[in-house]
Every structure is written in C-alpha cells, then in structure tokens.
Amino acid sequence: MTSKSTNAQQPFLAIANFVVSSLSRFARFFIFNGKLKVMQLKFTSLISGFILCIGNIVSAQQNDSTLIVQLLKDDYASIGTMDTSAHLRNVTNDYFLIEGGQIWDIETELDSLYRRPSNRSIIRSDYFTIKTVKVSGDMAYAIWNLRTEFKEKGKLVREKVWNESGVFRRQKSAWKIAFLHSSLDPHK
C-alpha cells in the first residue's frame, strides 16, 4: 500500500516552521540586546508549547488517516465474504455509492454486490494504492486506486482496476463511510 497521509501534515508543518523560526529570531533579538533572561525562558516555553500543540494535531490526523484506510480495507473485505452486517456497520445511515455511473442507495448496493446467489467460489483480493486522505474535523475524504483480482480454484479469472474516492464521517468517535464513487480505470 502506498499512503500519502503526510499531505494532511504539510500545512501544519509549514506553519510550525514559520512560527518557530520567527519566534526564534525575535527571541535572539532580545537576548543579543541584553534583555532579561526571563524573556528567553518565556519564548522557549512559548515555542515548546507551540511545537507540542502542532505535534498533537499532526499525530491525530495521522491516526485518523490510518483508521480511515483500515475502515476502507475492512469494508471491501466484507464484499469478498458477503458479510452484509459488517458492511452495514461500516457505513452511515445516509450512505450512497456511485457505481458505473449509477447512484445506488444501500439496498441497491446490497442487492447488487452482497445478495447475488452464486454456485461459484470466487476469491476476491483487493489491492489499494492510497493517493490522499484529508481530514477536517469529523469529515474526511480519500482518493485511491483499487486493483481487484478474482480467482477461482487458485486461477485468476478476472482483474479490474478502479479509480475511487470516498467521503467519511466520524459518528460517536468511529469513522464511517458516507459516500463512495467508483469508476473503472479506462486504461486498464
């Protein structure tokens, strides 16, 4: 899996670098001009507090990004096992999917993907390439490529590649999938 969760960190790190370097220059001005050592202590405390604050924000966003990617993988695994109850736990009550240009509510999706009777034992394996995960409060979105292999008796019978995106919402401290958009990759 390729993950670029560092995209969420970049604005915070840029701001942190700017503020720390500005405060450091300001502190040096006072120190070199013979001001009280108390000023140095205050600025050092201020800089340390700011760095800790930014660190906590970045860490929380990394954790959220990791949870969202794991939710995504777990939910796709529920398709392979036809586990409708797991899928329903992973999505919001107002969940929608755009699949092949069609807008599906949860019932349409369950009928199309989970409730198809089959005498074949096809194993589905999903491989994600995460392009980005952006978190803002209790909402997030992600963009990824998905390559899926379908095997029967150990032999590859079909492979599909999609470009996908999703919107995620935190509900009662747990991330849920609110919306997915799936388009077959036209080049594959």
For the domain that residue 86 is a member of, what is the CATH number? 3.10.450.50
Contacts of 57 (CB under 8 A, 6+ apart): 12
How many domains does the chain contain in total?
Answer: 1
Strands 91-99 and 174-184: parallel
Helix/strand/coil for 179: strand
Q: What is the pLDDT of residue 5?
A: 40
Please tell me the pTM assigned to this model: 0.67
Q: Domain range spanning residue 131?
A: 5-184
What span, in angstroms and rounded, lies between the C-alpha atoms of 86 and 79? 9
Q: What is the pLDDT of residue 23?
A: 58
Q: What is the pLDDT of residue 81?
A: 86
The residue behind tokens 């999609």 is 162
Element (H, E) at 24: helix 10-32
What span, in angstroms and rounded, lies between the C-alpha atoms of 120 and 122? 6
**CA 179, 142, 60, 24: dihedral to nearest 10 degrees?**
-140
Helix/strand/coil for 138: coil
pLDDT per residue rounded down to tens, the chain (188 residues): 444 444 545 555 566 566 556 656 655 555 555 555 555 556 666 665 555 555 544 455 569 999 999 999 999 999 888 899 999 999 999 999 999 899 999 999 998 887 666 676 888 999 999 999 999 999 999 999 999 999 999 999 999 999 999 999 999 999 999 999 999 988 76
